[in-house]
Structures are given as structure tokens and as C-alpha cells.
Amino acid sequence: MSCANVMLQCLEPEDRCIFILGTMFKLDSRIAGEVLGMTAEAYRSPEHIRRAVQGLLDSTQLSVVRDAS
């Protein structure tokens, strides 16, 4: 499984859509918000997605470091 696939599976379905529309398809927040049935402001505000991804990256890096020792 690729890193991106694992990361996406760790997110809630709505968060996956936000990540994919913004990162992979580079949709404007107004259009992406409309697709997801939310305002552009609500689409841009999901700080919890960034925290979830950062937590996944941090835990992955720690396990790689532990496995290397």
C-alpha cells in the first residue's frame, strides 16, 4: 500500500474528500465547498485534517526510527 493510501484511510470520509479535492485536484475553495455542500470558509478551516496527517507522519517517523535501532 502506498503512503498516500494509508494516510487517506486514516481520515474520516469527509476529510478524505477535502484533502483530495484540495491537494490532488487543486480545486478552488469556493468550488470544492460547493461540491461538498459547505461554504468556502468551512472548506478552508479543517485544521483537524492537518493535525491528523501530522500525527500520522510523526508516529510513522518514530516507528521507523525505532525499527532502525
Is the pLDDT reported for residue 63 higher than 70? no
Give a yes or no: residue 55 inside a domain: yes
Give a yes or no: residue 7 inside a domain: no
Give a yes or no: residue 33 inside a domain: yes
Give a yes or no: residue 54 inside a domain: yes
Is the pLDDT reported for residue 65 higher than 50? no
Q: Rounded to two decimals, what is the model's pTM?
A: 0.63
Alpha helices in 1-69 (DSSP H): 3-9, 13-19, 29-36, 40-44, 47-68
Tens of pLDDT along 2-38? 777 887 888 888 888 988 898 889 999 999 999 999 9
Total tally of structural domains belonging to the chain: 1
31: containing domain: 12-68
CATH label of the domain that carries residue 33:
1.10.10
